[in-house]
Amino acid sequence: MRRRGLYLLFCLALGLGSCSHLPNLKPLAPDMNSESLGASCLALFPKQPQRLVHQIMAELPMNQHSAMLGVSLVFPARRHLRAVLLSVEGLTLLDAERSPSGDRVHRAIGPMEDKDFAKGLLDDVELLLLAPRGETRFGQVAGQATCRTQVDGGVTDIRFDGQNWHLKRYDAQGRLLRSIQATHQNAQIKALGLGGYLLKLKLQSQENLDPGYNPS
């Protein structure tokens, strides 16, 4: 029953909305180079197919906490990813994938069968592991050099402070949906709005995959 309650809390967390809105993007300073800025923004994302395993600590509404494992397969050239959530006992809680042809759920338990739950998981993984694709502009937000990409009607902002990448995803109305702080080893994913949650990821293993590998 306790596990089922945690699943329900995750589902409630999918009703996102935020008071934070898209800030203005000001021109780069004369000494800033857009080409090097773009390279630093994209350095976070895998360039070749990979399998990553993360330990996940979730901070949920109502002061609930949960520990899980996350297995992610990412194929950057194909814009294809697969994400699996496992309990600490090894039970598959959710197995879903995203490709240009759409989302597909292979397995889901109980409340996780809600398609919005799988979409939320895939949104998190895509933001963290796939470089945004779209028109990118370079500028400053609050004095920080920022790469801004128009993505599916919304906006993704990325900046690198020399140690951490900071990613923010806004919807078409400019409302902040996701905020990520990441290194190549760890990440914190924060979902904003009513029932928001925080996922703390610690990389356990990472391996390259054959480009022809089929994740389905």
> Residue 17 pLDDT more than 70?
no
- 215 within some domain: no
Could you read off the pLDDT of 130-163 as tens digits, one per residue? Answer: 999 989 999 999 999 999 999 878 999 999 999 9
- 216 within some domain: no
Gap between the terminal Cα atoms of the chain:
31
Q: How high is the pLDDT of residue 15?
A: 41
**67-74 long-range Cβ contacts below 8 angstroms, 24+ apart:** 68/93, 69/204, 70/125, 70/201, 72/125, 72/129, 73/49, 73/97, 73/209, 73/213, 73/215, 74/46, 74/49, 74/50, 74/125, 74/129, 74/130
The CATH number of the domain holding residue 121 is: 2.50.20
Q: How high is the pLDDT of residue 152?
A: 79
- 214 within some domain: no
- 213 within some domain: no
Q: How far apart are CA 34 and CA 52, in angstroms?
A: 30
Q: How high is the pLDDT of residue 44?
A: 97
- 158 within some domain: yes
- 166 within some domain: yes
User: In Å, how far from its chain's centre is CA 26?
Assistant: 25
How many structural domains compose the chain? 1
What is the average pLDDT score of the chain? 87
- 138 within some domain: yes
Give the torsion through C-alpha atoms of 120, 116, 67, 83, to 10 deg. -60
Q: How far apart are CA 157 and CA 176, in angstroms?
A: 10
- 87 within some domain: yes
Domain interval for residue 61: 2-208
Could you read off the pLDDT of 179-216 as tens digits, one per residue? Answer: 999 999 999 999 887 767 899 999 999 999 987 777 66
- The pLDDT-based confidence of 81 (bands split at 50, 70, 90) is very high
| Among 13-22, 66-75, 84-93, the least confident range | 13-22
Could you read off the pLDDT of 91-132 as tens digits, one per residue? Answer: 999 999 999 999 999 999 976 777 777 888 899 999 999 999
